[in-house]
Amino acid sequence: MSAFLALLFRNRLAAMGLAVIAVILLLAMATPLLPLHDPDVIATADRFMRPLSEGRLLGTDHLGRDLLSRLLHGTRLSLAVGIAAALIAAVIGSAIGIVAGYFGGRTDNVVMRGVDMLMAFPYILLALAIVAALGPGLMNALIAVAAVNVPFFARNIRGITVGLAGREFIDAARLAGMGHTRIILTELLPNVLPVIVIAMSTTVGWMILETAGLSFLGLGSQPPQADLGSMLGEARSAMISHPHTSIVPGLMIFLIVMSINLLGDGVRDALDPRLRSGALSRPRATTLVRRQGATPPATDDLLAVQDLRTEFQVGKRNYRAVGGVSLAVKPGESLGVIGESGSGKSVTALSVMGLVASPPGAITGGAVRFQGEDLIGAPYEALRQKRGDRVAYVFQDPLATLHPLYRVGQQLTETIRSHRNLSKSEARMRAIQLLNDVRIPNAERRVDDYPHEMSGGMRQRVGIAMALANEPDVIIADEPTTALDVTVQAQILCLLDDLRRERGLAIIFITHDFGVVAQLCDRIAVMYAGRIVEEGPTQAVLGAPAHPYTRRLIACVPELGGGRRELAAIPGLPPVLDDLPPGCAFAPRCTKAEESCRQGEIPLQGPALHAVRCLFPERAP
Amino acid sequence: MPALKVEHLAKTFPLKRPLFGAAPPGAHAVRPMSFQVETGETLGIVGESGCGKSTLARMLVGLLEPTGGTIEIEGKALGSASPAVFGKLIQYVFQDPQSSLNPRRTIRQVMEAPLKRLHGMPKPDRDKRIAEIFASVNLREEFLDRYPHEFSGGQAQRIGIARALAASPRIIVLDEPVSALDVSVQAQVLNLLSDLKARFGLTYLFITHDLAVVEAVSERVAVLYFGAIVEIGRAERIFASPRHPYTSLLAKSAPVVGRSLTAPEQKGSELPDPLNPPPGCAFAGRCRRATELCRAREPELKQMGENQLAACHHPLEH
């Protein structure tokens, strides 16, 4: 709650709106207690007194009634009617929306078509019809305004509910024996309530305006009762001769609606979880660089990550996602980076081309050298030239990386044409050839498919084709087969392996699957809590793991052909990245840990090819 | 008496009826299938995406009404789909532990629901039972008053298992219970599941796409392809000596340390279209051994060797 208020007040306009509406609400509530004239007493002798006259702060209207008194009573009434209408519309509309969204199918269809019909009427027409049926009066105006706004809530809430009703916790509630009513009330309602509040806060102002509109037309409050709309309506005839009679209620309507809308927008922004997590702050085109310390010297590797450090600053917490990682690949080489979630393997990969979102991410140390040239801190244009051209990425979920509204051919040609000066038709030929290269059958036809028309394996092949489009030197593949079925995975792995052999591609393959790295990679680096704990040739690392973490992680993975058995597990959880222990990060879960493991830096050392970050490495059997 | 007996269970999803003309025949998600699971057994169900394994699971727990066939649990036939009736006998553990917990309910509220709704237990009994269950899944009781987002994947999955246990079911359907977890945590959860099975005499249906996991935890394995069982047999035998070419393809595709990389299949083979199923064997289009017979007549599950059944006209010999 306090976090919500802090966010709300950070938005100055919303804070101002809150202040104004608070004052108006206080005045409206205190109206009966204030020493005011009777709003309905007619004194024709005192008609049209100007504002600031003696005893009449805002003057009088055409019947000599005190304007200040009428204004405050009118505001009170208008606010009450507007808020009551909003509440009624919210309750009825949300109920309709939840029921339609939860039950779906025919119920949804019938209910929502009814709502659509209601929506098709212009509100004033609908209100006129309701008033004609029920007779004029404030109560009937309230009913009309509420009815007109029901569709807004119904449609909004239905949309949210449809998304929630498909979630697994609803199934779980059904399996726990809950009935429909109980699920709607205890499972769905708490989740849609914030949306209802947001929708209400943004529509109350509009409803006050609509009520005033009806009263202005004489369909709402009946004389002598004052509300803002009827005051405006009565003052209309004297608008030229005595403008203050219409300006006073007009200003009040303006203030109320304006402040409520500003406040409503603020509430929405503060409550919406997406906006709260900073979705509105657009990340920069490259990762922020705050490099401290010296830059390591260049090496002769094709791509070298040298002592890279990447951190995320979220609020007061500093997450050290990558804490000094060094990797290197030569042409035609394939390096596997293995680790569990949170080990920093993906952030390492994204840091290479400055793709880590900033804010909150920042590279705080080290270098990434492509053919000796440091990419960290390189100007955006230089990075953009290399992105997708010299160093290309393949990501885990091809459905998320392909644009759903463009044909795959268009996306491929765009990739090609942003780096090569080719005509559209040449680029298209190249796209077809690329699809052939990644073994997509009927490439000429499939080039015009949309991503959703392809299967997961096909889409991932398009992802690889896109990465290959400009014949890069390095491909960084971040869990490219995790979302795929095993038979498709085998095909994709074979494809990558062929490409590596045919074109001398260097591949950095990020995964959590030992089987995959064993088949594809020459070397393996094992990461834990943002650091490499072991690195060496695939056979050596998998055959005789030196770090206790590697050995036990391999033991956790069941292997086909092993039969029924108890699996080895690593007790405990990986450390949190904003509070890493000194010394070895694995020490709290390690059976061999001693006092010395918990102090000071432990270097990555060992025989030239097979290095390990451990004081008590496992002996080769 | 088997814990679970399924006969000719099938599910067809109706398709939208066009404005004119008759409704199309519908998508066959699960084609009529029959199998039994003995008490205390773990039956693994493997298959690739779209093979109907989740549809099957949802029918078994009553979340989806079958279009045909019967489900019998410990001799009791369960008629129409009503999760409240099914809930006491069979429970479900979901793939994504986070999304199976309502973000706005505390863990205690989540745990109390099945005790209150299915068993009508009074408050003191509920507290006692929750404490027992939490102890058995190695969770601390102080977690009860927290909200789901405060837990890691492994903890959330244990809460999901605890919730399933709370209903005191005879059978638990585990739908990819570890595929969202890291390998080091995966083993913790799998071992916990096997402890619980022994302790409470449960029967498991373990659905997964990971052959190594399914082999490690199950007694028998059923391989699903295109909504039908193509092979069923002892876990230790089925991948070592498969009779159906599809089972063999799966086993060869699984990445294994120490086996060199070869694509086990011709490139460009695609899955059959569920809206327009091929006549005969659904796998024929991808099968090297397929003949005219395969394309014309659908093979039935036949006994092939000891405790192993496969649906193939030309089974692999060993």
Task: Decide if pLDDT at B43 tops 90.
Answer: yes
Range among A11-20, A293-302, A604-613 with highest mean pLDDT value: A11-20
Q: For the ranges A188-192, A602-606, B82-86, B145-149, which has the lowest average pLDDT?
A: B82-86
Q: Residue A103's pLDDT is what?
A: 92
A66-83 average pLDDT score: 91
From residue A392, give the alpha-carbon distance in Å to each of A329, A422, A472. 14, 19, 6
**Could you tell me if residue A126 is inside a domain?**
yes
DSSP A311: E
Q: Residue B269's pLDDT is what?
A: 57
| Torsion from C-alpha of A182, A185, A188, A192, nearest 10 degrees | 180
Task: Decide if pLDDT at A23 tops 90.
Answer: yes
**Could you tell me if residue A87 is inside a domain?**
yes
Beta-carbon separation of B187 and A556 below 8 A: yes
Interacting residues of A173 by C-beta distance below 8 A, sequence separation 6+: A182, A183, A186, A187, B102, B113
Map residue A356 onto helix, strand or coil: coil
**Could you tell me if residue A22 is inside a domain?**
yes
Interacting residues of A193 by C-beta distance below 8 A, sequence separation 6+: none
End-to-end Cα, chain A, rounded Å: 58
Give the chain A residue whose CA is nearest to the CA of B261: A519
**Could you tell me if residue A499 is inside a domain?**
no
Structure tokens given for A282: 């657009």
End-to-end Cα, chain B, rounded Å: 33
**Could you tell me if residue A94 is inside a domain?**
yes
Query: How remote is the C-alpha of A355 from its chain's centroid?
Result: 18
Beta-carbon separation of B267 and A190 below 8 A: no
B258/A contact by beta carbon, under 8 A? yes
DSSP string covering A109-138: HHHHHHHHHHHHS-HHHHHHHHHHHH-SSH
DSSP string covering A28-46: HHHGGGS----TT---GGG
Query: If pLDDT is split at 50, 70 and 90, which confidence band does A273 have?
Result: low
Bond into A404 cis (ω within 30): no
Q: Residue B154's pLDDT is what?
A: 85
Task: Decide if pLDDT at A484 tops 90.
Answer: no
Residues 42-61 on B with a CB inside 8 Å of A are 48-49, 58, 61
A441-445 average pLDDT score: 83
Structure tokens given for A616: 């008590």
Structure tokens given for A160: 């949210």
Could you tell me the CATH number of the domain that includes residue A69?
Answer: 1.10.3720.10
B197/A contact by beta carbon, under 8 A? no
Contacts of A570 in chain B (CB under 8 A): 184, 187-188
Q: Residue B160's pLDDT is what?
A: 93
Angle at B161 between CA B157 and CA B164, to 5 degrees: 140
Q: State the Rg of chain B over Cα.
A: 21
Greater model confidence, A183 or B150: A183
- Total count of domains within chain A: 1
Task: Decide if pLDDT at A166 tops 90.
Answer: no
Contacts of A564 in chain B (CB under 8 A): 215-219, 235-236
pLDDT digits (tens, 9 = 90+) for B243-265: 999 999 988 888 877 777 776 66
**Could you tell me if residue A397 is inside a domain?**
no
Beta-carbon separation of A518 and B258 below 8 A: yes
Strand partners, A368: A305
Measure B38 CA to nearest chain A CA, in Å: 17
Task: Decide if pLDDT at A621 tops 60.
Answer: no
CB B7 within 8 A of CB B34: yes
Greater model confidence, B45 or B318: B45
Map residue A618 onto helix, strand or coil: coil
Name which of B100, B117, B260 is nearest A168 (Cβ-Cβ): B100
Beta-carbon separation of B216 and A558 below 8 A: yes
| Percentage of chain A modeled with pLDDT above 70 | 98
A192-204 average pLDDT score: 86
Give the chain B residue whose CA is nearest to the CA of A177: B84
> Which of B118, B261, B262, B269 is the best mutation test for A, with the most CBs of A within 10 A?
B261
Q: Residue B255's pLDDT is what?
A: 80
Beta-carbon separation of B105 and A490 below 8 A: no
| Percentage of chain B modeled with pLDDT above 90 | 41
Q: For the ranges A164-178, A231-245, A435-449, A507-521, which has the lowest average pLDDT?
A: A435-449
DSSP A588: G
Give the chain A residue whose CA is nearest to the CA of B103: A191
Q: Residue A570's pLDDT is what?
A: 84
Task: Decide if pLDDT at A145 tops 70.
Answer: yes
Bond into A283 cis (ω within 30): no
Residue B258: count other Cβ atoms within 10 Å of its Cβ. 11
Q: State the Rg of chain A over Cα.
A: 34
Task: Decide if pLDDT at A220 tops 70.
Answer: yes
Q: What angle do helix axes A12-30 and A244-271 make, rounded to 10 degrees?
A: 130
Name which of A171, A485, A518 is nearest B209 (Cβ-Cβ): A485
pLDDT digits (tens, 9 = 90+) for B44-97: 999 887 788 889 998 998 888 899 899 999 888 886 657 777 888 999 999 888
Give the chain A residue whose CA is nearest to the CA of B101: A169
B21-28 average pLDDT score: 74
B84/A contact by beta carbon, under 8 A? yes
Query: How remote is the C-alpha of A179 from its chain's centroid?
Result: 32
The domain of A129 spans: 2-31+64-276
Alpha-helix runs per DSSP H in B167-254: 183-200, 211-217, 235-238, 245-253
**Could you tell me if residue A426 is inside a domain?**
no
Enclosing H/E stretch for B292: helix B292-296
Please give the Cα distance from A339 to A328 (Å, whole number). Answer: 17
Q: Residue A458's pLDDT is what?
A: 82
Task: Decide if pLDDT at A280 tops 60.
Answer: no
Which class for A114: exposed (0-12), middle (13-18), buried (19 or more C-beta within 10 A)?
Answer: middle
> Which of B188, B210, B257, B273 is the best mutation test for A, with the most CBs of A within 10 A?
B257
Q: What is the ipTM of this complex?
A: 0.89
CB A327 within 8 A of CB A532: yes
Please give the Cα distance from A476 to A345 (Å, whole number). Answer: 11
Measure B317 CA to nearest chain A CA, in Å: 19
SS3 of A315-333: CCEEEEEEEEEEEEECCCC
A61-89 average pLDDT score: 90
Sign of the torsion formed by the C-alpha atoms of A394, A400, A406 and A408: positive
Range among A439-443, A551-555, B127-131 with highest mean pLDDT value: B127-131
Enclosing H/E stretch for B111: helix B107-119
Enclosing H/E stretch for B11: strand B4-13
**Could you tell me if residue A121 is inside a domain?**
yes
DSSP A66: B
Alpha-helix runs per DSSP H in A420-547: 424-437, 443-446, 456-468, 486-503, 514-520, 538-543
B198/A contact by beta carbon, under 8 A? no
Look up tokens 């059958």; give the residue.
A441
Query: If pLDDT is split at 50, 70 and 90, which confidence band does B4 have?
Result: very high
Range among A505-514, B37-46, B51-60 with highest mean pLDDT value: B37-46
Q: For the ranges A54-58, A106-110, A324-328, B242-246, which has the lowest average pLDDT?
A: A54-58
A83-111 average pLDDT score: 93
Task: Decide if pLDDT at B34 tops 90.
Answer: yes
Task: Decide if pLDDT at A620 tops 60.
Answer: no
The domain limits of chain B are 242-318
CB A577 within 8 A of CB A320: yes
- Establish how many alpha carbons lie within 13 A of residue A609's alpha carbon, considering only the half-sphere containing its beta carbon: 9
Please give the Cα distance from A81 to A72 (Å, whole number). Answer: 14
A15-38 average pLDDT score: 91
Q: For the ranges A87-96, A180-189, B13-22, which has the lowest average pLDDT?
A: B13-22
Contacts of B267 in chain A (CB under 8 A): 439, 441, 491
A241-270 average pLDDT score: 89
Query: How remote is the C-alpha of A199 from its chain's centroid?
Result: 19
Range among A455-464, A536-545, B177-186 with highest mean pLDDT value: A536-545
Look up tokens 């409520």; give the residue.
A260
Structure tokens given for B8: 């000719």
pLDDT digits (tens, 9 = 90+) for A391-428: 999 988 777 788 889 999 999 999 899 888 889 999 99
Residues 154-173 on B with a CB inside 8 Å of A are 154, 160, 163, 167
Contacts of B251 in chain A (CB under 8 A): 560
CB A438 within 8 A of CB A465: yes
Task: Decide if pLDDT at A294 tops 80.
Answer: no
Mean confidence (pLDDT) of chain B: 87
CB A149 within 8 A of CB A203: yes
